Amino acid sequence: MTTFNPRGLGDVKVTGRFDLTGKNFLITGGGGGIGFACAKAIAQLGGGVAVIDTAPEPVEEFKSLSDRYGVKPFYTRGDVTRQDSLEKAFANCVDAMGGQLHGALTAAGIVMDTPLLDADWEVTQRVLNVNVMGTYWTIKLLAQHLVETKTPGSIVAIASINAQSLYVPVQPKSAYNASKAAIKGLMGPLAGELGQYGIRVNCISPGAIQTPLLARLQGEKRAILDWYEKGAPLQRLGVPEDLTPMVCYLLSDAAAFTTGADMLVTGGLHAGSALK
C-alpha cells in the first residue's frame, strides 16, 4: 500500500519534470509532418530520437538535430505493416540508442477520404493495417522492450478528431474514422495491462493540422479545408507545433499520473462545429 503523502513532491520544480535529457524515444512516421515536429521538440528537451519511416530520407532539417540540440538522432526505413520490416527497424533503433528506449510516439498513418459506397477493398485494408495494426505492433515491441529492461516508460499514439464519430459532410471517410477510433479504443485496455510495469499509454486526437497530408486538399478539395477552418471555434487550422507540447508532456515525468487518456487538441472542433 502507498504511504499517504499529503505534501506531494515538495519542492520539485515543474520545469524539471518536462526535461527529457538522458531518455530516448522511438517515433514512427517521424520523417516529416507531425512526427518530425515532435522529434524536433523532444530533441529540444534533451531526448534522443530514433525514427522509423517508409521514406528513403527524412526531411533535411532532421540531420541538424544533433548539432542544434546535442542529442543523437537516428533514422531508419521500416514498414509498420510488415512484421519482419518493423522488427528489424525497431532492433536497429534500440541499438542506435545504446540499447535503451524510454518511450514512443506512434505517428505513422495514412488517410483515405472515400465514401463507403466507393470504397476499394485493398485501399481500405491498407488504411486499417497502417493506422491500427501498425500502432498496435509498435506499442507491443516497445512495451516488451521496457518490460524486459525493467524500465518505466510512456507511449503516445496519434488518433484524430475523427475518432470522436465526427461526420464531415464534405469529406466522408468512415474507414479512416474507424481506424482512429480503434487507436483511441486501445488506450484504456493497454493502460490497464501495462500500468503494473510503470508504462503509461495515452493518445492525442488532433484536429485539422497543416501537414503534407492536408496540403493535398488544395484546389478542387479546398472546401474540406474551409470546413475545418471555419468550423473550429478558434477559426483556424492547426500546425504541428500545436501538438508538440502535448506530446512532450505525455512523454515526460510531468504526466507521471496520466494514462489511458485521449487528449483533444482540435481548436475546439470536438466541442461542436461552429457551422452547425
Q: Active-site residue among 154, 160, 179, 205?
A: 160
Q: Does residue 237 contact residue 226 with C-beta atoms inside 8 Å?
A: no
- Report the SS3 class of residue 74: strand
Crossing angle of helices 244-251 and 33-44, in 10° steps, is 60
N-to-C CA span, the chain: 50
> Is 176 marked active-site?
yes
Q: Locate cell 531526448: which residue?
A: 47
The amino acid occupying position 238 is G
Residue 7 CA, distance from chain mean position: 34
Q: Active-site residue among 69, 176, 228, 249?
A: 176
Cα–Cα dist 155/157, whole Å:
7
- Report the SS3 class of residue 234: coil
Cα–Cα dist 74/66, whole Å:
10
> Is 160 marked active-site?
yes
Cα–Cα dist 180/83, whole Å:
21
Cell numbers of 241, please? 507545433
Q: Active-site residue among 180, 205, 249, 252?
A: 180
98 — phi, psi (to 5°)? Answer: 75, 20
The amino acid occupying position 114 is T
Cα–Cα dist 135/112, whole Å:
17
> Is 23 marked active-site?
no
Instruction: Write the Ramachandran bin of 12: left for phi over 0, alpha for psi from -120 to 50, otherwise beta.
Output: beta
Which residues are identified as catalytic? 160, 176, 180
